Structure 1
Amino acid sequence: MRKLAIILFSFFVLSASQEEKLTLFKGLYYGMPIKEAKKEHKNNKDEYINVDLGDGVIWELRRGGLVKQDNKLVVLVMQPKGFTFGMNNEEGEIYLKKTRLFFEEKGYTLISEPEYWDVPLLFSPYNKMGLLLGNEEKGLMIELRPVKITEGSYVVNMGIYNLDDYKKAQEAEKEAKEKTKKKSGF
């Protein structure tokens, strides 16, 4: 009986730890030690620097796009391949719109759509986030965000996040606002 209990306990612990591994992209998972993530990127570089979504849209994940917190991988940031020094407004619009369509066809749904998310020339740098698409089943959130480099030159970023982290941050922000409102005295 005791052996059965140990076996069952081990099974549940292993199952739980496997469920906790959230794959961000290919061999990179959320919470992975950053050294392992860099090694994975280096060993499979071709897979990460040629992410072809079809229709002429190719993204790349450079080593600098491995975002860490406490030496663990938490976010991936990709950029359009071949546009290291930026792109014009029209090229940015094409990448943003085609990438959104790709993810919507993959079952991602709209979370947030700020004004001009798809027009680099008009997108406000004061927006906290770009377009946000989420997939509950995969536990992922995609952010598409144009960033101005210089006048007439933009870079488009695609961030891949843990959807639960985003939800927790939203809830914490909401609670902080409520607390502030209560303290106001009105």
Structure 2
Amino acid sequence: MAEARLVGRLLVATPQLRGSTFENSVILMLSHDGDGALGVIVNRPTEVPVGNLLPTWQHVASEPSVIFQGGPVETDSALGLVRLGSGGEPLGVRRVSGEVGVVDLDTPTEVVESAVGGMRVFAGYAGWAADQVEGEIDEGSWYVVDAEPSDAFRVDAQVLWRAVLRRQGGELALMASFPADPTMN
């Protein structure tokens, strides 16, 4: 299925998105099919501790154990991502791609915590209607690159946009040094 090509990959905002909601965003794609696409912004930590909203998950959450702004859609809902080992999926977890899975936050933490090597909680998500994300990619709004298992769980998430571009090499690596204000270059 051609649509699934984005699942588990990263959408990295191009300079074309400067000044928009998605400026310097790195989005991990969680689903992509004929009905549309869904992902979470993995490089926008908030100041809100996980324990303020989901106290039972506080001790499982990766540092910094704060809620991340997952995107502009349904910001009053929470979505949990976990980093899994090579074993199976614990009850309440659906593997998305490789080591990354989505956890049902209603699952008791003791069922999940021993099987995960990292966890993030996201408020909201980024979503696209059918064919919308493909159009945005075609118009140059997003670079599509491979994700590394640690991308969604980095302590220094704020530097992820530059780090992901830098590791691509070539022209994309040069984009990592793109100035915040190109007129000042």
Question: With structure 1 as the length reference, what TM-score do the two structures score?
Answer: 0.24
The structure with the largest helix share of the pair is 1
Question: With structure 2 as the length reference, what TM-score do the two structures score?
Answer: 0.24
Larger RCO: Structure 1 or Structure 2 (Cα < 8 Å, ≥ 6 residues apart)? 2
